[in-house]
Chain A
Amino acid sequence: MRGLLARRMKFHFIGAFLVSLGSATLYKFAVAEPRKQAYEDFYKNYNPMKDFEAMKAAGVLESAPPK
């Protein structure tokens, strides 16, 4: 039992640090990076005129009613 508290505290402080780093890394690769990638993928081949024509045909625009 000699040095048990010191050993245990060292173990758990390292453990706590790893848990917090791990949860931040998990959030980064599960949420943040996919979100960035989703925006990149959306705008990579985005055609604003085609999107606009689709909205116009659907009749959702006040300034550009469908013919």
Chain B
Amino acid sequence: MANHSQLGFQDASSPIMEELMRFHDHAMMVALAICSLVLYLLTLTLTGKLSSNTVNAQVIEIIWTILPAAVLIMLALPSLRILYMMDEVNEPNLTLKAIGHQWYWTYEYTDFKDLTFDSYMTPTTDLPLGHFRLLETDHRVIVPTRSTVRVIVTADDVLHSWAIPSLGVKTDAIPGRLNQTSFSASRPGVFYGQCSEICGANHSFMPIVVESVPLANFESWSSTLPS
């Protein structure tokens, strides 16, 4: 989860999120270069140190057409690389359905058994000591570590969005439509997210918690649940 006053991304817990972070650093470098260039020239202009009486500007016009085009290509190529990487068919070992309702999520594991459960936010009055306000749920999504998990996201009533920042996942839940995403948790742990599409009064109170555990523990957990 994010700390209070945190500005940057949460620590990446999946390979895709690590790629996204790297791309963000790259894009930030480009943005910083352009902004500092503009600020420098603007300061010079406003202090009267830079002016122009040029009427024939052919060379500079060519330069400031080619350079921005090159910058855009520098941004587009890594961006498209990650976009296509996110859509790769990577043979997920587990498929999970996430169905958004007002105002809770239903999860279905139907690969081997018919496991279905609802996940409601733990109210603040019932929160045990040390747990996170507005982020904890009564039932968590348990997944095996370092295994690709496919998530099919849909909704039952209005638009919702299933998002977990540290795993680099955000997929809209649209009634009547199945959206697919996948992720692979790089390490064991608990990862928090919140509904990311306005869906009514309790939109801020339907969080998502994914718990990543080693495969053996995942199997023993799933065998203890009733079908």
Contacts and interface: CB of A to CB of B under 8 A. Distances in A.
Nearest to A62: B140
A48 B190 contact: no
Given A19-B36, A49-B214, A55-B188, 11 more contacts: A8-B49, A9-B50, A12-B44, A16-B44, A20-B32, A24-B30, A24-B32, A36-B22, A48-B145, A52-B145, A52-B188
Interface of A: 5, 8-9, 12, 15-17, 19-21, 23-24, 27-28, 31-32, 35-36, 39, 43, 46, 48-49, 51-52, 55, 60-64
B29 interface: yes
Contact of B52 (A9, A15, A23): A9
B12 A39 contact: yes
A61 B211 contact: yes
**7 nearest CB pairs, A to B:** A20-B37, A63-B221, A32-B25, A24-B33, A20-B33, A52-B188, A23-B36
Contacts of B146: 48
Contact of A35 (B25, B40, B187): B25
Nearest to B21: A35
A46 B11 CA distance: 15
Nearest to A21: B33
Given A28-B29, A61-B211, A51 B188 contact: yes
B188 A16 contact: no
B26 interface: yes
B110 to A, nearest CB: 18
Nearest to B222: A63
A64 B29 contact: no
A20 B189 contact: no
Contact of A64 (B30, B33, B49, B213): B213
